[in-house]
Amino acid sequence: MIDIQPLAILREIDRTGSLTLAADRLNLTQSAVSHAIRRFEARHGVKLWEREGHKLRLTMTGEYLLGLAHRVLPQLENGATILEDYARGRRGAIMVGMECHPCQDWLMRVVDPFLAEWPDVDLDVTTAFQFGGLTALLSHEIDILVTPDPIERPGLEYTPVFDYELVLAVADTHPLAGKAHVDPGDLAGETLITYPVSRERLDIYTRFLVPAHALPRRHRTVETTDLMLRLVSSGRAVSATPDWLLRGVEGVTGVRIGEGIAKSIHLGHRVGPSASYLDGFMTIAANVRV
């Protein structure tokens, strides 16, 4: 069996960039950290790092164990949290993972009635996944995945909660605002803003631009919906945006993309018996519309 302590040490060194700071974070002395690593290396016959002056460079073995630490330790920490919840008399906890950047407002309208109906259940939301939301769901790091792009895998199923159309958000004064729909070539001179998601997962590319061998003049990313819509309304850029997100937004018009890009938000969850509060969350979510 692999000891947990060396994994925790490698993760803290990766986070802090310092053996000394890692030792402080783990409430250990620097000599205790070094001894734990030497003991691990001797037991398994491997070398985890090499010194380059005052810096540490991980070996291939060290890099592998660091990746293992990032995958395994969050699961153990989440398990410890759930055990603590049970010890305190709580009935459980839900971790919701978000792969839908503009869905935050919708999710908050699900959270409020859920917390009222299930006062003894903790709920947390994360958008940070070490290896993606699908892997987090399969590895039990999260319980529910909110995603517009369900990927079928054995042991998982998806529940659609609402449909929408992806439209091109442009300023009201933009020349494209008066068109019934945009063609791929219409974006050749535009700056396209998206959330920080790889192009392989952006429908504006995979379902519209790439099949037509077209690209925008420039592609940039922003973290927040508010900034995205402000940049669009100022005429500085265009953006592929859910149609429901533009309701009530002044200065911005949604134009159909090609023949239309239909989408749905899904809740991904593991197959099999589930706690009643998970079923309760799913039921509430299915009845909250954008």
pLDDT in tens, the chain (290 residues): 888 999 999 999 999 888 889 999 999 999 999 999 999 999 999 999 988 777 788 999 999 999 999 999 998 988 887 777 656 545 678 899 988 888 888 898 899 999 998 888 889 988 777 567 888 898 888 999 999 888 889 999 999 998 999 999 999 999 999 999 999 999 999 999 998 888 888 999 999 999 999 999 999 999 888 999 999 999 999 999 999 989 888 999 999 999 999 999 999 999 987 778 888 899 999 888 87
Tokens describing residue 278: 């998970």
258, 182 Cβ separation under 8 angstroms = yes
pTM over 0.85: no
How many Cα atoms sit within 13 Å of 4 on the Cβ side?
Answer: 8
Would you say the C-alpha torsion 164, 170, 175, 178 has a positive or negative sign?
positive
